[in-house]
Chains A and B, each alone.
Chain A
Amino acid sequence: MTETPLRSSRRSAGLGATTVLVTVVVLFSLVTELAWFIAVPIALVGAFASVALRRSRGAASLELAAAPSVVAVGALAGVAPATPIAALLGGGSALAILAWLAEDPTRAPGGLRRARPTILVAALAFAVAWGSALLLPPAAGAIGIAGALLVVALVLIAAVLGRPRLLQAPPGSTV
């Protein structure tokens, strides 16, 4: 028997998250060093290819729908100048991709609301890294990275402490 994964029928696609994704990625493309007539099509092709993959019926295409957007944003990041605005829009593009993933029309409505903890942790780490890179002198740029890692570590510790079961050892064998 060949396997044909069948998924739930789509609701109307999450247009809000798609609009945010397209807008942020296009803005990011405009601050890169590429000419706008090259950069903007890269951004648009990436975003709309993701939307098209999500609309197709295949399970694999639905699963990897974010790939074109990620590739487009990665390609634009490679040619973006090292400015605070470019960094802000680059990180914002990555967060927009996460928000777009959460607005999956094949899932129960309200995905973005339920995905808040995941997106907020990623946004917090990015905010610390970006803020420290903006506010600290260039020579101390490593402090920004260290700050982001510190925030991630604190979040992980908080999560572990918030769930005592994660620290519980398995019950020992009785003799």
Chain B
Amino acid sequence: MSEPPTERARLRWRARGYLLLGAGTALLFLAVAARDPIPVFVALPLLIAPVAAGLNAPSAAASASLSWSDRGSGPRVELTGSLRADPSADMEDWAVELVGPPPLPGARPLTVDWRPDRFRFTLSWTAPEPTILRVTAPTISWRDPTGLVDREVRGEHPDILIERYPPELLRLGAIRLERTVPLPGETHSHQLGASGEFFGIREAGPTDPPRRINWRASARAGRRLVNEFELERSADLLILLDVRPTPLGPVLDDRLLGIARAAALGIANACLREKLRVGYATFGEFVDSVPLSMGRIQQVRIHDAILTTRRAAVEGPSERCAVALRRMYPSTITTLLISSLVGESARELVPHLRRRGFPLVVLGPSPLSLVGGLALRDAEEEALAGRLGRLDRGLRLAETWLHAPVVDWTDFWSLGGLARMLRRPNVRRGP
């Protein structure tokens, strides 16, 4: 019985292999043209080395398992991974190349710690603003010691997702959202959670926050007890992203959209953790939506939708968004609009949504926080230009405040303003 065929990755010559072959060939032509033997002696090692390196390669593709994770916190991202050959093999000639994400301020070079049977690598950088980033798995290959040929190493090499959003969002779930249906006839959920109507008392678990501990009951019972609440299924949240192009241009638009996506993901996660129903929609030319639901499957749905959200090329009319949303969601749903509020059409969206009955809170990532100085020669002029920019922004926000409360998001690593706003139900409906 013949042994099963071994999977063989293709052996590739690398750029420096082609360089040596090209140079050797050119020297051979030079020798013939000039009738000079010396270039032949130089060409000989250059032509033979790539072939010899190929023959020195392992005959079958190696396999390796990669495990890596993000160990950073806050703005600092630290990817640490280790690679183990499967079955164990000499890994001295293995090479790791990580195709990194584009903004890498403060990035330290990839550090690699070689061991005979495994190696570890670390890559760290500082995220300048809240972000969601998929980092593709590094390319792992066997490479001959002179770097002339390589062969891919097979195995499970999963991508990793970097999520960075303001820490306030981890505690956002304590908010009480607007009811979607009026109180009479309201259907109660059978699920229990941290907000809603008081349901009962149970023993505290290690993950229960101190705020939920019923201290009087705990004192009586001699052990820690926490309050449980009956969740209100009617407390829903719609997160709406305005992804239309603005006069700021594609670069700033993309950065603002990246921040908005991170905030949307953090808010959705926080609310879903508290068993609230959450919907997600984006408006570019048309509305793309994830219907209201709750639970882990909904978390995955929203997660995937946020990851695929991109800036729209064409701008749709604001009224279309309001009309489409009215068909998809109940109009009394608390709606969080994340929009930079730059441009007339972005500001028009707010009154349209209000006219259709959506209780609205606007979170506006400020482009002023991303734009540096105008590089004017005079510092005084620079300060004046900055002040005028802030005044203009304030004026625009004041106009929007006529229709809905607005959180001007200037410090991207803090969303305390939004959390406070969402905890004040009387403000939430706006003036």
Contacts and interface: CB of A to CB of B under 8 A. Distances in A.
Contacts of A125: 44-45, 48
Interface stretch (B50-58, B69-77, B281-289): B50-58
Contacts of B146: 98, 101-102, 111, 115, 118-119
Given A107-B143, A110-B92, A122-B52, 5 more contacts: A65-B16, A77-B27, A112-B145, A130-B41, A156-B51
Contact of A145 (B40, B45, B101): B40
Contacts of B26: 74
Contacts of A112: 145
Nearest to B92: A108
B111 interface: yes
Interface string B139-154: 0000111111000000
A50 to B, nearest CB: 11
B217 interface: no
B310 to A, nearest CB: 12
Given A74-B30, A82-B38, A98 B123 contact: no
Nearest to A133: B37
B247 interface: no
Contacts of B107: 6
A34 interface: no
Contacts of A10: 109
A5 interface: yes
Interface in A44-99: 57, 59-60, 63-67, 70-71, 73-74, 77-78, 80-82, 86-88, 90-91, 93-95, 97-98
Sort chain A's interface into a size bin.
35 or more
Contact of B145 (A65, A81, A114): A114
A1 B102 contact: yes
Given A4-B102, A8-B96, A102-B145, A78 B39 contact: yes
Contacts of A1: 101-102
A166 interface: yes
Contact of A90 (B41, B101, B104, B110): B41
Residue of B38, B107, B121, B148 ringed by the most chain A CB atoms within 10 A:
B38
24 contacts: A4-B102, A4-B104, A5-B98, A5-B100, A6-B109, A6-B123, A7-B97, A8-B112, A70-B19, A74-B39, A87-B38, A90-B41, A101-B146, A110-B92, A118-B52, A118-B56, A122-B44, A122-B49, A125-B44, A129-B40, A141-B37, A148-B44, A152-B48, A171-B2
Given A66-B19, A108-B92, A7 B49 contact: no
B114 interface: yes
B49 A91 contact: no
A114 B146 CA distance: 9
A70 B15 CA distance: 14
B93 interface: yes
Contacts of A171: 2, 5
